[in-house]
Amino acid sequence: MTHVVIIGAYGSAGAAVAGELVEEPGVELTLIDDGEPGGGLCILRGCMPSKEVLSAGAHRFQARHDDRLVGDVPDVDLDRVVDQKDDHTLGWAGHRRAGVEEMAERDDVTFVHDTARFVDPHTVEAGGERFDADYVVVATGSSVNVPDLPGIDEVEFMTSADVLDAREFPDSGIVMGFGYIGMELVPYLAEAGAMDLTVIEHDDRPIDEADPEFGDAALDIYEDNWDLDIPTNCYERELEPTDDGGVRLTVERDSGATETYEADQLFCFTGRRPTVEGLGLDNTNITVEGKWVRDTMQTAAHDHVYAVGDVNGKEPILHVAKEQGFTAAENICRQEAGGEPQPYENVHHHIIFSGLGVYPFGRVGHSERTAREAGCDIAVATRQASDDGVFKSKDVPEGLAKLVVDRTDGTVLGWQGLHYHADSFAKTMQIVVEMGLDVREIPDRAYHPTLPENLDGLFRDAAALVEEASGDPTK
């Protein structure tokens, strides 16, 4: 029997590995997780509960945003929001636990509800027992990254997890971190919490993965619709408490000038880091720095130790974590059969539920920048949401979309969208990009009035550019 130990079996990545291997003949599984209640980060503290709370803010925002609606704008009842979120979250987590527990009913599967640690590269200890493993999969997720900033130990701050559980907010706040966590939670604080916010942005604009016009559009949407001050091109330098129990932040501009901001509450959305504390990595050759995990999901130090999901720091996204888990399971089987492990390769596919999810950002495949950096000969079509009447008719005319195609053969290389329902467009565009479709052969058929008219417009514009380049308008 081949013995595989999975540390972090309740999480999305760990559960994916277990689900793939549980039916493999000749494989014995030991599943370990100390989660209480258990269910994984995404379900308990990540994408699932965050969409719960964002939806409440979104409903209020759309009622307030539409000039055709009159009367008092309703308040968001934070107690009801949190109660419903907790109820749903516990249900989803219970479903995940039930799946793991069902696997553990098999004779060749053991579940240990405890913290695990390496004794040596092939031995894991948990629940007072030691398990000798042929392979170990580390899927321990990520934890809040607290920056090493002078004064941070002297002030109280709220993390994303705290926000999801909050039943009241003060009048004002300072936000450190305007990545995907900040992009999602800042409008919630401003809408549901009715807060005045200062949001620190290190660069010219947010959404690093996007072409610049998308970050610029996001700034416009945020500053036009919520009470936000977003100083750009500045870095946090020092924190200190104020006499009235608030917080004071000093930032430094690119010019060298310093500025200070004060508020009632500090919010720390400064990313996440691998959860490896207490894992006993000092009893192995694993060092969590640099490219410590290969594209095959094997650690650089040990071929038989895999690291999947948030813990490897590659792409802390739910669907990527699951896909990495599938890759790890496949590669363990390949190793056992004497084959070569294969790298995890994916087309970039990512959604940020910006603008309370009313104005989400989606990207599939190349952006214009990455396509040019890759040396592609491209044609680029861009449409504003306001170019399509259906966005206006639904009172959501803000945002834009962009299509990148190969100028020579019309292959769709990538799409970006920052507009109403862009998250729903992403699946269609994933099919188009991953199948390598020629933009000229994609059916142009919108069922008016529907939002995908925006896609039809992009397809037509890009097809025209390809035909112009080919010199054959009949193709």
pLDDT tens, residue by residue, 67-123: 999 999 999 999 999 999 999 999 999 999 999 999 999 999 999 999 999 999 999
Output 321 or 316, whichever has higher pLDDT: 321
| Dihedral angle over CA of 240, 243, 246, 247, nearest 10 | -20
Say how far apart CA 159 and CA 152 lie, in whole Å.
Answer: 13
For domain 360-470, give the fold.
Answer: Enolase-like; domain 1 (3.30.390)
Architecture of the 152-270 domain: 3-Layer(bba) Sandwich (3.50)
Q: What is the pLDDT of residue 472?
A: 61
Does pLDDT of 128 surpass 90? yes
pLDDT at 471: 75
Mean pLDDT over each residue of the chain, to the nearest integer: 95
- Delimit the CATH 3.30.390.30 region(s) of the chain: 360-470
Q: Judge whether residue 289 has pLDDT over 70.
A: yes
Q: Are strands 172-176 and 196-200 parallel, antiparallel or unpaired?
A: parallel
CATH code for residues 2-142+273-336: 3.50.50.60
Total-model pTM: 0.92
Range(s) of the chain covered by CATH 3.50.50.60: 2-142+273-336, 152-270
CB 286 within 8 A of CB 299: yes
Model confidence band, residue 367 (pLDDT cutoffs 50, 70, 90): very high
Q: What's the rounded mean pLDDT across residues 341-355?
A: 95
Q: What is the rounded end-to-end Cα distance, in angstroms, of the chain?
A: 58
State which H helix or E strand residue 462 sits in.
Answer: helix 453-470
**Could you please report the per-residue DSSP string of 206-265?**
S-TTS-HHHHHHHHHHHHHHS-EE---SEEEEEEEE-TTS-EEEEEEETTS-EEEEEESE
